[in-house]
Structure 1
């Protein structure tokens, strides 16, 4: 069963994190590090921002975070492990494993959980990758956060340093699967920040530079960004409806006026699917609390959810716990 409303929520969250110019620091997969390089933006952006950020001649560009990378194939990787969404799965796995000050303890927990997140044919490789992902996150902890997260130069250094750490733990194919989409948007966001902060630009130059930044994004990334913006507004409206317990008639009237009758009917169907999804999650979560892991819970999992949905259960429950913790703090 499709779950577009959840997709909207995820897209909105990703856009918020990316637009914050990678404000996360080790608190999540988009955490930053501090570095010591100063590379210019790529392509047409460089002309608009070169007065503000000068490259370091001692630093090569081939392995720089800001160097052009090969285009990522849109039809996916032939490797069934290295697919889009891999990092989300690893983060969900870490979240389910819980806090552990000792990486060795955390890796032991991952070994016990990996089969719940990956098929048996990929479990061994997935565990090895997850263990390196733990080491990567530990290495990020040795980086110092920028003192001013609104300073483009500090953010540029941080992105470069984080990139270097990633290259220490992952090969090119793994890097692309884990980080390529985020990296494209990080570069774009930083470029916009640099343009906005460049006082030497006239309004016309700034507009041209911002357009150039948009052009640096691939068509796929631009479509994702555009869709995320639209979905964020729709998701915010749906969240407001849920908070106020708005009935179907109220929702339809508002959505029809804003998006048209056809879209309003589609959103109503999504509301019903979302409600059904949450009801099944509630049933599964309660059963796991009462009886723990075992054959009975696995049978219930298969009864309640499609194979595709089963891959999202643990991440959805982890997100629930995270949201509950945030609202209780």
Structure 2
């Protein structure tokens, strides 16, 4: 009986032990499986995150490359700054449009303009040259070296030209001076020479005029362009002196300068002819009135009445100048 109870105890203990072992075994197995599953899931999540990060980085790099490429592409379409004979006119126009601003503001404005207009390699050259050109203009204005060729004092004009030349050489090198000022300097020197001819009293008026026109015709293209209106007027006056009739003058001018110019001068000559006729009529009236026995006051009153009826206020002024000669 005791032996049977003991056996039952061992069976119970054996069964319990077996159950514990099985439970431990199952726990270990499923626990490891769960950990393995978690590890595998974590590893998959990491790999997925890595792939997402790599893809995001690649996209950013691509976008960055595109964004960096756009300025390069835009810049490639910009021209390089090139110093030329038109540079001075361009600078002057830029300054003229900002005459109300101070010099530094004008420089800053051109700096922005240059960066948007010229290539990265060349905009700095334009910026520096313009800055010195503004300084040059300021220097000219500060010492009043603007040259007025209508001044008939040759010594003063020559002195101012020399002073201006010295200032230009101070701000610009030889190559820059050539493109900015060489043409203007040639025109000034030629104009100075013509002024000397015009003041040569040993020559007749017609001879001086002919020499001046000949000098302009023999000048450079830039000089001829600058004085082309003078040459045109000289030629038109020659036509006027050559042809006595208005019709002949009109045809000659139309042949060289076109019908618009001919129409304008035909109208001008017609007005001049009418004016000349009015002056002649006044002179005859004046002479006829002088033959009459009138008092000075009556004489003046009669002339004033005639002027009031036949001339405008400005024409009366011109008439008095003519009659005083």
TM > 0.5: no
TM-score by length of 1: 0.41
Between 1 and 2, higher relative CO (CA 8 Å, sep ≥ 6) is seen in 1
- Give the structure with higher Rg (CA): 2
Under a length normalisation based on structure 2, what TM-score does the superposition of the two structures give? 0.41
